[in-house]
Amino acid sequence: MRRRHDGVVPGPLVGGLPPAIVVAVALLGGCAAPGDGGGTGSTPVPTATLAVGDVRDRIAGGWVGQLVGVAAAGITEFLYLGEIIPEEMVPEWSPEFFETAWLQDDVYVEVPFLEAFAAHGPTVGWKELGDAFAASEFPLWHANGAARTNLRSGIPAPDSGHWRNNPHADDIDWQIEADFVGLVAPGMPREAVEMAWRTGHVMNYGDGVYGGVWVAAMHAEAFVAADVRQIVDAGLAAVPQGSLFRRVLDDVVAAHEADPADWTKAWHAVQVRWRETDRCPDGAGRPYNIDAKLNAAYVLMGLLYGGGDFDRSIRIAMRGGDDSDCNPSTVGGILGNWLGLSRLPARYRDALDWDRKFVFTEASLTTCVEKTEAVAREVLRLAGGRVSGSGDAESWEVPRRPVSAPILEQWPADADEPPTLDARVDSVSGLVATFVASATDPDGIAAYAWTFGDLAFASGPSATHEYPWPGTWRATAWVADANGNTSLRSVDVVVPGP
């Protein structure tokens, strides 16, 4: 992303088959587990059973797919602005292109965040996420670069990504680096939404955060999806209706339903409506567009029109132009996850150096895959899932809660004061806590939401939530005014032990 490479050009991409997916659906009984939208009760949660070998294969495929997508298209980045890349200009794949993969911010930015999750657990807070990002030494641009400067200047997360402090708040950054969040939540897109929403505010706001929420939800669903449309639908459910980001996605879906054969019609329709909406200061006065929404449209075109074919899907996302290496990287990661490493073409597996370190990090592809699985086990436990068996016979019983979107948050068209918000813990009884929030704003209050600190979230000014075990948890109240301008306030919840 935002970097051009010289060298041998990658070659034509072909082939890809839908995976053979075996999902056993069961019911997880007992009290409602975290992620059910808050509240208490005994409503059974549907589950899917995944063999540990399949989980590992898909995690590895998700990481490798990202590398393939960005390496295949790296030379095209920002060379085609507001135009489709001609078919004859699509690079032809060469294994030598993997030489660039370890130099790409599409992937290496994930490393400090993954390491923070591994060190502090999947409920890791903004301070730890911000500290890990501020300590990074690799090159950064746009929302990432501005956020790291903010963090190093004493502006903590989530203020580091807020539009008041970060003029790149709607840029593509979190969208291209949220893959790992979905990979640590196999079959659990609802939990992936909460983790992506929390982490994305380190460098983005509103639509910029939704880009990562959307990608993470699709990755999580890819572990259990029967087809690509199931993956896409999970991503759509993770983005709130009424947001500009969701409107762009809906435009692509509508174009695909009208003509599922010709992706260029969708491309032209999106250009007409959304081309001029990029607020990035670097794009002023030229056709440059690094907005998360427009580039997400190219990702969605690759997924919908590619029909599950790994190479064709990457190719379409690349040919959309603009950030034309990031978008196929996202598509490659999601489909690499869905297919699994074992089903990717051999030319993408055989030339990989699994122990080479990503630039300015101590992380290799091997260590990233290992840490992803370790965090996924913690997510599974926190979400109320179960592990049975051992060794190659181990299986994961994954809770399958309905996907829902975070609060509607938008960068206001004009500078606007955020709502005034008060929030408190009203009571704690056993593992059950109740919360109350109140807010005022001249524009009116549109919505409230809560994240409870254990991957669960719910909407409304008041909430009741059952925690999975005793401890000190950090819950956060969110409120949005009529313009989508949000405020938040965090409160500590002490849940006593037996």
Bridge partners of residue 447, in order along the sequence: 480
Residues in Cβ contact with 152 at an 8 Å cutoff, skipping those fewer than 6 apart: 134
- The pLDDT mean for the chain works out to 92
> DSSP state, 357?
B
Q: Which of 201, 192, 123, 115 is nearest to 159 (CA)?
A: 201
**What stretch of H or E contains 39?**
none
* Contact call for residues 399 and 385 (beta carbons, < 8 A): yes
Residue 373 has pLDDT above 50, yes or no: yes
Structural domains in the chain, sorted by start? 24-399 (1.10.4080.10), 420-495 (2.60.40.10)
Separation between Cα atoms, residue 239 and residue 350, nearest integer Å: 37
pLDDT of residue 286: 74
Global confidence as pTM: 0.93
Pairing verdict, β 471-481 and 445-451: antiparallel
- Interior/surface letters 427-459, b for 16+ CB within 10 angstroms, e for the rest: eeeebebebebebebeeebbbbbbbbbbbbbbb
Residue 22 has pLDDT above 50, yes or no: no
* Contact call for residues 128 and 198 (beta carbons, < 8 A): no
Residue 20: C-alpha distances to residues 114, 221, 453 (Å):
29, 15, 35
Least confident interval from 31-35, 47-51, 488-492: 31-35
Q: Write out the two tokens for 322.
A: 């603009």
Based on the number of CB atoms within 10 Å of its own CB, is 229 exposed (0-12), middle (13-18) or buried (19 or more)?
middle
- Interior/surface letters 231-261, b for 16+ CB within 10 angstroms, e for the rest: bbbbbbbbbbeebbbbebbebbbebbeeeee
Tell me the per-residue pLDDT of 111-168, one tens digit each, with 9 for 90 and over: 999 999 999 999 999 999 999 999 999 999 999 999 999 999 999 999 999 999 999 9
Type of residue at 117: F
Q: Write out the two tokens for 124.
A: 């890791």
Confidence of residue 284 (pLDDT cuts 50, 70, 90): low
* Contact call for residues 394 and 376 (beta carbons, < 8 A): no
Of residues 18 and 2, which shows the higher confidence score?
A: 2
Separation between Cα atoms, residue 398 and residue 350, nearest integer Å: 32
Confidence of residue 42 (pLDDT cuts 50, 70, 90): low
Share of the chain above pLDDT 70, in %: 91
HSE, side-chain direction, 13 A CA sphere, residue 217: 27
* Contact call for residues 379 and 455 (beta carbons, < 8 A): yes
| N-term to C-term CA, the chain | 51
Residue 18 has pLDDT above 80, yes or no: no
Of residues 355 and 498, which shows the higher confidence score?
A: 355
Count the neighbouring beta carbons within 10 Å of the beta carbon of residue 87. Answer: 9
Bridge partners of residue 472, in order along the sequence: 494
